[in-house]
Amino acid sequence: MTTNLTLQSAQDKFVDTQAKFKSLDERRAPLSSVFLYLLSRSNFVGYERSSIEL
């Protein structure tokens, strides 16, 4: 029971922190998320291509 409770509080803290960062980063969020998305996509595609060549 106690472990479940601490897990819940940790989760709540995490969500709280996420919300704070979200509000803090609201203006830059769209641009950076798009950039990160493109970056991850290009990395994934490059990895896929190299593994196919092997």
Cα-Cα-Cα-Cα dihedral sign, residues 15, 17, 22, 28: negative
Answer whether 39's CB lies under 8 Å from 32's CB: no
pLDDT in tens, 7-54: 777 777 777 777 776 666 565 656 677 777 777 776 665 656 655 555
* Token reading at 25: 């980063």
The candidate with the shortest Cα–Cα distance to 6, out of 21, 14, 22, 17, is 14
Q: Note the pLDDT of residue 39.
A: 72
* Token reading at 10: 């940790």
Q: How far apart are CA 38 and CA 11, in angstroms?
A: 29
Q: How far apart are CA 6 and CA 1, in angstroms?
A: 9
Residue 1 has pLDDT above 60, yes or no: no
